[in-house]
Structure 1
Amino acid sequence: MSRISKKTKLTVITAASVLCASLLTFQAVPLLRAADNNAPAAGQAAPQPAAGQQQPAAGQTAQQPAAGQQPAAPADAQPAPQQAAAPPANARNELPDDGKFTLAAENASLRLLVDSTTAHFKLEDKRSGQVYRSFPDPDYWPKETITGTWRNNLRSPIMIEYIDMANFKSQPKIISWLEDKGTLEGFQKTQDGFKVTFSFGGTQFKIPVEVKLAAEYVETKIIDDGIKEGKFSLLNLKLYPMFGAEPSSGQDGYIVLPDGSGALIHFKVNRSNDKSVYRENLYGSDISYFNERTQRQKVTMPVFGMKSGSSAFVAVMTGGEEYSKLFASPSGAFGGSNWITSEWQYRIKFFQNTSQKGNAGFYTYSKEMFKVPQRAMRYYPLEQGKNDYVGMALKYRDYLMKEKGLKPVKADSPKVPFYLDIVGADRKQGLLWDAYLKGTTTSEAMEMVKRLYGLGIENMSIQYSGWQKDGYSSYGQVFPVDSRIGGGDGMKQFIQFAHSLKIPVFLTANYTLNNTQGNGFSPRYDGMRNLAGRLLTFENFNNRDTITLMSTKFAASVLSNDLKQYKGLGVDGIYFEDGVGRYLDTDFNDRYKASRTEEMKTQNAMLKETLDTLGGVSIERPNFYTLSNVTHLHRLPEDFSYDLFVDESIPFTQIALHGLITYTSNWANLRDQYQSEFLRAIEYGAYPSFVFTNAPSGAMKGAYGIWYYSMNYRDWEAKAVEEYQRFNQALGDVQNKAIVGHRTLAPNVKEVVYEGGKRIVINYNAETYTNGNLKVPGQDFIVVTGGKTP
């Protein structure tokens, strides 16, 4: 349960200010997590200065603001690309000659051809005849008006951003292999493709890569161990950034972003005045460095796609994505083509304080280069008839089943699961000491479940929060169960009662924050630290309590000990909240030092140990690296970040996951637009979820951690039963089925199709939607039987 709920703000990021705004960077205490359409727990990005505001360069001294304020970030911006009145007369000759491409690999479906003079490649889909190039479309390029350095950048197979670390006034610079007069070293064909090292001329970087063909995809890899640097330091690179790039003119297409639930940037011809681009971290920001504040929803899926006419592909990052940003450039931003790629990160900016209080210092970059075994990207061309965003999501679903081990869920009941979050207790400020706010005791929880079960909500799944000593806002030591809500015996009796009704019970726990010094925790020795050595903390907005982030490796040992007590209570799993599985941060505590990659492994180990011991793991809005060790995804986003250049939200996440893992949308009793959000949950195949207390609504007002008021179950039980019946009507018989179709029938009218042919039509309009014999009442949905909808 997130402690703060915020609306996502509109975000526009211009090409000039963002493309070169390198990497994540550090901010001062107190920390707040960047909003992923929900408030955060552990740290939030700092606001960027207004356009044109002067900022210090890397290495330049900066005065840190007073405690509670954010440091200004240094600008890494370079001028936006220039547009020429007319392209060069020999423009087509700037691209690789078709006659120089030779066969590198071939299978039943695909052919890979390569130009040994540039290492550019073409992927031919033998099923459809479509050709995907790693360079701009030759038919359009003569019309391309971009000039100067960026014309070479777009033609190049690789471009990099670098800095001169020896010069404290140095600013990051971008250069491409072509612009730097690079050469190829060691080019050779392999059994299934080719490998080569891009040797840059003036900057002297050497970047080894491999390209190989598989049955369904072509994969590009960067071999980090082989990277060589000269006198400059590598910040990031884009490999084959123009793969599949296409102009808007004459093309019916779109870019698919993993923003929120998924979003589309439609191809548009007249974007010349809009230089906005999309640039966002995979798996969220890293609070050990400086963070660019965008207020976007977090990118949790390492996947993107593009459709152009009858051709389409979906790309999946399969290695090293924890050190990457997703970069999308609609036509008109950087050239006339629409393109999307990964920007692989090698160094990140941070604030190096030079005073004990940490309020003065300078910005610099991490000295050591981030290395992973490989940075890999797979490009899957889609077959005809499956070449839209639904086809992309289904191909990603297939990847999750084959590579991550996900399997169709077993529907134990013809009724959908009803996810019930029960709040035990929390604290608020009192006159002399904190007051204990009792929400639901274990005996009251028993009565609540009995009541809802008797009203027809039989297939429940319970997540019980605020059960630890002193309630929800006490972190770091979850056991024993607070005696004021029933203690260990009361919780055990409640769980046994729930099990008698075949209802699983998960206990909510936070293994990221610690404000109790429980389990022998010492902030000085066991707290997470950033690259500058500063302790990472979170400030509770309500009581200004400074809470330390535990080193994940320390938290893992605590969890291992706690699992025995969870097991003793008979719980079915843990609902990990605000940390494990959701946020990914580097730890520079010398005792528990861990890179972002190692943190990812530690988190997965914690989840797997829990899964093996208890049988269930639930996470709120998790990153997708957790999916192999999670049984339920709670409160998934159903919207996007409302960038002005992004056109619409799509259920990409839900199409990929439905039938493989259970998921919910937001709690029904906390919706902003009640009926519209109910319909969105139906459209997206989510299951019903409510958060309840036995206490009267408003009883938790002023609580440190629980910021939700309308939670009394008696006020909501009639609505909950009504909704449960509607959810069963829509989703009861498709719990283990995939979504195989999703389209817009009319403005604000959507159709969803499941395996087996079941169709649901959702009408968000106030008026009835009519099409032939099909009628859908306003603000409602119907299940269609007996054939395809018009």
Structure 2
Amino acid sequence: MKRKRYKLTLSALLATSLSLLLFVTQTAWTINAANTPVQATSLDKPELQSQAPAVQAPAASAAVAPAPGPTANPAGAVNAARLKAELPDGAVFKLAAQSDKLKLLVDSSSGHFQVEDKRTGDTWLSYPNPEQWPAETITGTWRNNLRSPVMLEYIDPANFKSQPKLISFIEDKGTIEGFQITSSGFKVTFNFGGTKFKIPVEVNIKDDFVETKIIDGGIEEGKLSLLNLKLYPMFGAEPSLGQDGYLMIPDGSGALIRFKPNKINDKSVYRENVYGNDISFYSEKTARQSVRMPVFGMKSGGKAFLAVMTAGEEYSKLFAAPAGAFGQSNWTTSEWQYRIKFFQNTSKKGNAGFFTYSKERFTSERTMRYYLLEKDQSDYVGMAAKYREYLIKEQGLQRLKIAGSNIPLFVDIVGADVKKGFMWDEYLVGTSTSQAMEMVKRLYSLGIENMAIQYLGWQTGGYSSMGGLFPVDKRLGGNEGMKQFIQFAHSLRMPVYLAASYSYNNNGRDGFNPRYDGLRNLAGKLMEFEMFATRQMISLMSTKFAARTVAKDQQQYRDVGADGIYFEDGIGRHLNSDFNTENASSRTGSMQSQQDMLKLVKESLGGTSVDKANMYGLKNISHIHQISDDYSYDLFVDESIPFMQIVLHGLLTYSPNWSNQRNQYKTEMLKGIENGSSPAFILTQAPSEDMIGSYSVWYYSMNVHDWESTAVEEYQKYNKALGDVQNKFIIGHRTIAPKVKETTYEGGKKVIVNYNETPYIDIEHKINVPALDFMVVQGGGGQ
């Protein structure tokens, strides 16, 4: 027994000695990191898969003590001081540059910076909050990641089995090179010690924002290949701590992730491509809506910022981590993409092959602006107002010009489609040009005096025919019939846009040859999709081929008098790289081509309408159709906000889903009124049952006679709420009670929407909103 007890004691002593040695080693590295951050490292292995980053439980020797109070343990204070020392020392930051509103300070030994807001007295940091850092429980690799100014993912191209690995500047024993103060900020190169990456960046102060820029041409990779990187990912990061705070993400129309206590086992993050997926590369399939705005923001207590990606956003993912996912802080950033995974097929059918990464690095200027908001603008409405200001000042958008006080009703008229017949396809006439004239005349006589008309399915062969659009199908009235209809609409001061898809071709017209003119992915495979109704494979057109076709068609649009083109399901919405050798185009090049097409059409015809538009085309878009008014319902996301609508209202018109195709008619109508939208209907003169079986126009109920009284009633409601504020900016939006929303416009007009099935009554302010209804409060508080 004594012998056994002696052995146990010796083992315990040995374990204790090893623990003490480990603690001293960790402490030595930590103290060294405090004095020279670029030399700090971790005892953990750096090979961490980005797909499954582990958050480790704190070791017993690294237990975090609470902030010392009057009777606190002195050992706890020492421990807190030691943990704070992992971050840059505030005393070493020196002034680099300043504007009238901001001061930029930098630590030349770590590359981190601070921004002092002269207006508010707030200080913004590019690293975690030092006051809260002692409470941070994350350890090992991710503790170093959160402290680093740069973290990146890479692969070893020499090893075909290589998997992506995550490394950060501190984890990789990085050093600072070429630090230089400039007239507006500083330049620095982050030299990663082990992996040999070199990442040169600039940080500048201008007016009310700090700008970070990656100098792509100066990046060095050595023997490894850079996949993506996050620059200053912890800018503005804050733990929840019970304060009113949230992350604003551009999911759908916009969404908020509110600050909540850490969920230790919840690693949920938001990570989506800006401007949607690129079909030429591999994309994870999710049910999320596309990110159409290159922005994100954060509110923490009484301060907030808005980040705008001003260059390179087409090669970016939006990354947002609530507290508990990666550390105790809430943080959000851009993940700049340099190489993307794709499927290299090894068979003609494309069903055999392997996943790999693009060899060439995507080159693009990568620039981010962090706008620091004043106290009275420190919420999502203030963020939207700042983005709107950016679009006006930097992108040239102008306030909407209107004629009269009647809001436009967007009427989509369906011309024709086809369905499968016994011997050949059967042509189905929904609305001829002469019938369209009678339809508009009837709606006008019922009191809808302002309509914006979009004519669908007018092309040769009907709505399902893609390619070689002109002439207008003779069975609808031909070019002459369309010309007469448009002239009639003009007599009522109503514009007519002709709907067109310049993204697909299934008939070979316009000289389209899939072999030479079809969009191909990086593996060289022709991009096609199967039309559900016909099982026909339809080719995607190269963007450059589409641009040539759009230019060629302009004269024919002008000949019939069209006021613009309604681009469906493609231009302005989908952004794809093209590796067709005849029409090769990067994602950046495709974006530029689409911008050029929109500009050409607007200058040639007067206007453009785009289905579910991305923001890169805004300067030349007159109307956004089927704009999102909801979010993707991730469990960690708390609520939808009309961020996009707040940005756009008063600059251009937008409409949600067609009113006669809603799932919840009244609720969705109220949502449109809350968001400042214009109503829209899709209609035919033919009975709805006549279109059953059509290949593309599968909508359930479209007959104008079934919907005209509803359209008139809805139009009157929208007009009452929004007719006199069409070109006014939204300056306020809030929840004033559960399921009761208030939208405020310039001049003070308020629209209060009640989504409850009981009335909302506020006796003090004399507000009584019936169940599932809205109320208008004119500026100055009167009703």
Looking at structure 1, the residues matched to 332 and 781 of structure 2 have their Cα atoms a distance apart, in angstroms, of 35
SS in 2 for 1:91: helix
Matched, 1:480 2:471: yes
Give the drift of 1:76.
6.2
Looking at structure 2, the residues matched to 304 and 354 of structure 1 have their Cα atoms a distance apart, in angstroms, of 40
- Note the alpha carbon deviations across 1:99-122, whole angstroms, 9 max, x for none: 110001112211110000011001
Native 8 Å contact 1:469 1:480 kept in 2: yes
1:390 alignment partner, one of 381, 389, 392: 381
Looking at structure 2, the residues matched to 615 and 194 of structure 1 have their Cα atoms a distance apart, in angstroms, of 45
Looking at structure 2, the residues matched to 753 and 785 of structure 1 have their Cα atoms a distance apart, in angstroms, of 10
Which residue in 1 is equivalent to 2:160? 168
List gaps (5 residues or longer) in structure 1. 1-74
Which residue in 1 is equivalent to 2:55? 81
Give the drift of 1:360.
1.3
Which residue in 2 is equivalent to 1:154? 146
The letter of the residue matching 1:670 is Q
1:234 alignment partner, one of 215, 226, 230: 226
Which residue in 2 is equivalent to 1:621? 612
SS in 2 for 1:698: helix
1:342-491 matches, within 5 Å, as 342-372=334-364, 374-491=365-482
Give the drift of 1:565.
0.3
- Note the alpha carbon deviations across 1:324-345, whole angstroms, 9 max, x for none: 0000000000000000000000
Looking at structure 2, the residues matched to 581 and 605 of structure 1 have their Cα atoms a distance apart, in angstroms, of 11
Greater relative CO, 1 or 2 (CA 8 Å, sep 6+): 1
Matched, 1:292 2:284: yes
Matched, 1:559 2:550: yes
2:564 alignment partner, one of 552, 573, 579: 573
Looking at structure 2, the residues matched to 312 and 382 of structure 1 have their Cα atoms a distance apart, in angstroms, of 6
In 2 relative to 1, CA 786–655 (structure 1 residues): closer, same or farther, beyond 3 Å? closer
1:315-326 matches, within 5 Å, as 315-326=307-318
Which residue in 1 is equivalent to 2:113? 121
In 2 relative to 1, CA 789–156 (structure 1 residues): closer, same or farther, beyond 3 Å? farther
Which residue in 1 is equivalent to 2:484? 493
Which residue in 2 is equivalent to 1:720? 711
Looking at structure 2, the residues matched to 330 and 627 of structure 1 have their Cα atoms a distance apart, in angstroms, of 31
The letter of the residue matching 2:202 is E
1:695-710 matches, within 5 Å, as 695-710=686-701
The letter of the residue matching 2:494 is I
Looking at structure 2, the residues matched to 82 and 542 of structure 1 have their Cα atoms a distance apart, in angstroms, of 52
2:235 alignment partner, one of 243, 246, 249: 243
1:135 alignment partner, one of 120, 127, 130: 127
Instruction: Kindly indicate which of the two structures has a greater share of residues assigned to helix.
Output: 2
Give the drift of 1:358.
2.0
The letter of the residue matching 1:340 is T
C-alpha RMSD of the superposition? 1.2
1:749-760 matches, within 5 Å, as 749-760=740-751
Matched, 1:590 2:581: yes
- Note the alpha carbon deviations across 1:498-555, whole angstroms, 9 max, x for none: 1111110000000000001011110111101011001001111111110000111111
- Note the alpha carbon deviations across 1:373-432, whole angstroms, 9 max, x for none: x10000001001110000000000000000111111111121001100000011111111
In 2 relative to 1, CA 512–786 (structure 1 residues): closer, same or farther, beyond 3 Å? closer
Give the drift of 1:453.
0.5
Looking at structure 1, the residues matched to 513 and 353 of structure 2 have their Cα atoms a distance apart, in angstroms, of 27
1:335 alignment partner, one of 327, 330, 336: 327
Give the drift of 1:788.
4.7
SS in 2 for 1:731: helix
Which residue in 2 is equivalent to 1:678? 669
Give the drift of 1:618.
0.3
Which residue in 1 is equivalent to 2:499? 508
2:99 alignment partner, one of 87, 91, 107: 107
Give the drift of 1:367.
0.4
Which residue in 1 is equivalent to 2:724? 733
The letter of the residue matching 1:271 is K
Native 8 Å contact 2:517 2:542 kept in 1: yes
Looking at structure 2, the residues matched to 466 and 785 of structure 1 have their Cα atoms a distance apart, in angstroms, of 42
Native 8 Å contact 2:50 2:153 kept in 1: no
1:776 alignment partner, one of 763, 769, 772: 769
List gaps (5 residues or longer) in structure 2. 1-48, 65-78
Matched, 1:600 2:574: no
SS in 2 for 1:699: helix
Native 8 Å contact 1:321 1:375 kept in 2: yes
Which residue in 2 is equivalent to 1:13? none
Looking at structure 1, the residues matched to 475 and 54 of structure 2 have their Cα atoms a distance apart, in angstroms, of 62
SS in 1 for 2:306: strand
Matched, 1:192 2:181: no
1:176-215 matches, within 5 Å, as 176-215=168-207
SS in 1 for 2:208: coil
Give the drift of 1:786.
6.0
The letter of the residue matching 2:279 is I
Give the drift of 1:789.
9.5
Native 8 Å contact 1:76 1:171 kept in 2: no
Native 8 Å contact 2:246 2:256 kept in 1: yes
Q: TM-score, normalised by structure 1?
A: 0.90
Looking at structure 2, the residues matched to 671 and 779 of structure 1 have their Cα atoms a distance apart, in angstroms, of 16
Q: How many equivalent residue pairs?
A: 715
Native 8 Å contact 2:188 2:201 kept in 1: yes
1:305 alignment partner, one of 297, 307, 310: 297
Which residue in 2 is equivalent to 1:11? none
Which residue in 2 is equivalent to 1:255? 247
Looking at structure 2, the residues matched to 785 and 320 of structure 1 have their Cα atoms a distance apart, in angstroms, of 43
The letter of the residue matching 1:280 is E
The structure whose Rg is larger is 2
- Note the alpha carbon deviations across 1:703-732, whole angstroms, 9 max, x for none: 111120200011000010011111111001
SS in 2 for 1:562: helix
- Note the alpha carbon deviations across 1:735-781, whole angstroms, 9 max, x for none: 11000000111000011100000011110001010111211000000
Looking at structure 2, the residues matched to 295 and 789 of structure 1 have their Cα atoms a distance apart, in angstroms, of 44
Native 8 Å contact 2:262 2:328 kept in 1: no
- Note the alpha carbon deviations across 1:78-100, whole angstroms, 9 max, x for none: 34222326346521000000011
Which residue in 2 is equivalent to 1:94? 86
SS in 1 for 2:687: coil
1:275 alignment partner, one of 262, 267, 274: 267
The letter of the residue matching 1:190 is T
Looking at structure 2, the residues matched to 775 and 682 of structure 1 have their Cα atoms a distance apart, in angstroms, of 17
The letter of the residue matching 1:568 is D
- Note the alpha carbon deviations across 1:231-257, whole angstroms, 9 max, x for none: 110000000000000001132100001
The letter of the residue matching 1:624 is M
2:736 alignment partner, one of 731, 739, 745: 745
Native 8 Å contact 1:413 1:459 kept in 2: no
The letter of the residue matching 2:771 is G
Identity %: 64
Looking at structure 1, the residues matched to 687 and 403 of structure 2 have their Cα atoms a distance apart, in angstroms, of 34
- Note the alpha carbon deviations across 1:548-575, whole angstroms, 9 max, x for none: 0011111111111100000000100000
The letter of the residue matching 2:773 is D
In 2 relative to 1, CA 598–166 (structure 1 residues): closer, same or farther, beyond 3 Å? same
